[in-house]
Each structure stands twice: as C-alpha cells, then as structure tokens.
Amino acid sequence: MRHFLVPFAFIAAITSSAEAQTTPNMSKGREIVQEAYQFQNKLLDSTATIDEVIQKWSATAANPYVHKDPDAQAIAYGCEALLEIQKGENEKADSVFKKALPLFRIRESKAPILVTYADFERGIHHDAASLRADEEIVKTMDSIPQLDDIPFYHASGYAPYAYAIDASFGMAQIALADSSERKHAIELLRGTMNRHLDDALGLMDGVALHHLHAMSDEDYKFTIDLLCSRKPELRKVSDLFEKKFAEAEK
C-alpha cells in the first residue's frame, strides 16, 4: 500500500485548488478541513497522538459548516479512515470509508481516497469491492494532471497516470489470486489498455495482461515495442513495471 503522506499531501493541495476553480473564496468547510491538516502536522513532531488526530478529523466531519460542503466532509472522513488503517483498525476504517465515498462531488478530491480504499479492500480480501473502486479509477481518474506537481509521482516517469496505473496493478493482483474475479479483472485491464494505447497506463495494462497469460508473447512484444518506439522514454517505465510484477510474484 502506498505511503499515506502522498495522499495526505495531494488532498491538502486540491482542497483549496478545486474550490478556487469555481469560487474566489474558499468555503468555511474547506477552511475547517485545512485547520485539521495543520493539526495533523503535529504527528510529525509528536506533539499530538494519532488518536487525537483521529478525534480531530471526526469532529471536523461533524462540523455544521463542513456538512454544507460534501467534498470537505468526505475528505475529513477519508483522512480519518487513513489513520484508522495505520492503527490497524480495519473495521473502523472500512466503515468510515463507506461514509466518505458517496459524498464526493469533485473528482480530484475523491481520487486519493478512492485509490487508497481500493488498496485497502484488496488487502482485506474484499476483492469485488476493490475491483469496483479500481474500475471507477481507470474510467474516470485515468489522468490526474496535479500528480505531476508532486515530486513522488513526477519522479516515477508516469504521472499523471499514476493512480490508474496503481489500480491496474491492483486488478492484476486480484486476477492472480482470486479465480472468481479473474475474468472481470482481465476484461477491465483489456478495456483500459485499448483506451490508452499511447501512454504509460496502456503500457501497464499490457504488462499485466502478459503476466496473467491473457496476451501472447508475440502480441505483447509487438504492443510494447510499438508503444516505446512512439515514446522512447517509456522503455525505462516498461522495465520498471516488469520489475514490479517480478517482485510481486516472488
């Protein structure tokens, strides 16, 4: 599962930017969420405990001003769920995630929470729920331009497709481990690849299908060579994806 500092950082950035796209002033609910971020920073110097920060997020989600902004409330619930995962409270995290996800209205606000939720559900073997989340990611969050502004993702060489690439990798892991979901996962991977024949997401899907033996060696080589001939910078990314699968299969 990815490091939570990245979702937290991304959520912090889009909390204000998404609001600024529509109105000149941030909503009161967004301001209260930003205050909760500032409080959460106390974890870095141990001036607050994780339980205190969870309580802060819970109180933030219950605030009447936050209630008026569904995305702000969803972010508060989502951040609370992330911290419950860190505590190992999986049932609490699952419950809070389910409060958060229906509230989102802005794609960029939902993206980091949904990606982490998909990983979490796969981790506790709720594969059908994980696939539903992954499907939404690859169909509606396949390209998030803001990811290229985060050094963690920019350095990868495959922003802004990073979230959908993670989702595709997760779907492949489900297909490898859960025979009941294999067919659906492969269909999703193939459909995503066909929509992204010229970018890093399509590359990941091709690598995944090959490792699942759902693409012949000949077709795989042709697809990868063609894509990398058009975009030579993706050859290193292809090697990175192959290494990622090799490590997962050990």
For range 8-15, the mean pLDDT: 56
Q: How far is Cα of residue 145 from the mean position of the Cα atoms in its chain?
A: 14
Measured in whole angstroms, the distance separating CA 48 from the mean position of its chain's CA atoms is 27
> Is residue 214 located within the same domain as residue 141?
yes
Sequence letter at residue 164: A
Do 135 and 188 have their domain in common? yes
Say whether both 150 and 190 belong to one domain.
Answer: yes
Query: pLDDT at position 99, please?
Result: 96
Claim to verify: residue 75 and residue 135 sit in the same structural domain: no
- The stretch 41-55 carries a mean pLDDT of 93
Q: Which runs of consecutive H residues, i.e. helices, occur in the chain?
A: 5-20, 28-40, 50-62, 64-67, 70-87, 90-100, 107-123, 127-140, 151-154, 162-177, 179-195, 200-211, 217-230, 234-248
**232 token code pair:** 């030579």
Do both 200 and 101 map to the same domain? no
* Between residues 98 and 108, the one the model is more confident about: 98
**Is the same domain home to 91 and 202?**
no
Same domain as 244, residue 173: yes
* Same domain? 169 vs 228: yes
User: What confidence tens digit (pLDDT) does each residue in 71-85 have?
Assistant: 999 999 999 999 999
pLDDT digits (tens, 9 = 90+) for 114-173: 999 999 999 999 999 999 999 999 999 999 998 888 887 888 889 999 999 999 999 999
132 contact partners, CB below 8 Å, separation of at least 6: none
Same domain? 29 vs 58: yes
Residue 19 pLDDT greater than 60, yes or no:
no
* Domains in the chain, number: 2
Residue 172 sits in which domain range?
A: 131-250
Last residue of one domain, picked from the residues 89, 124, 159: 124
Q: Tell whether 84 and 39 lie within a shared domain.
A: yes
* Average pLDDT of every residue of the chain: 89
Among 107, 124, 141, the domain boundary falls at: 124
In this prediction, residue 13 carries a pLDDT of 53
